[in-house]
Amino acid sequence: MKKNIISSADVPVAGPYSAAVEARDLIFISGQLPIDPTTGELISDIQKATRQILVNIRSLLKKTDLDLSHIVKTTIFLKNIKDFADVNEVYADFFPVEPPARSTIEVSVLPRGALIEIEAIAVRN
């Protein structure tokens, strides 16, 4: 099976993994942290952090000529489940119709002390 590694200058990678991998018609997007690509700084406001992650995911998808409407599944990892409503408010702006399937999980610790991380799977239709 051939796989295509997807990267973007706008999406930092901080370890031995790919930002995204395309295999056949599926695009697997690694968990994205809320890192501002221009400063490299971690965003600590939950709504701004959610927005930045989704912008970063959109940037990766653009490299494959896809957009957010091609996402079929996301997983959201939250440091504090009490942030759920704030995340939903921003998330709904990015997926106004036919949102993808989603899981949201509270975790004890995320890399770099982040409040949120989101991974996604997209499909070519």
- Give me the phi and psi of 42, to 5 degrees please: -80, 135
The three-point CA angle 76-15-22 to 5° equals: 65
Spatial distance between the Cα atoms of 48 and 50, rounded to a whole number of angstroms: 5
- Report yes or no on whether pTM surpasses 0.85: yes
108-122 tens-digit pLDDT: 999 999 999 999 999
CATH number 3.30.1330.40 given to 3-123: yes
Residue 3: count of CB within 10 angstroms of its CB: 12
Mean pLDDT of all residues belonging to the chain: 94
Spatial distance between the Cα atoms of 90 and 77, rounded to a whole number of angstroms: 15
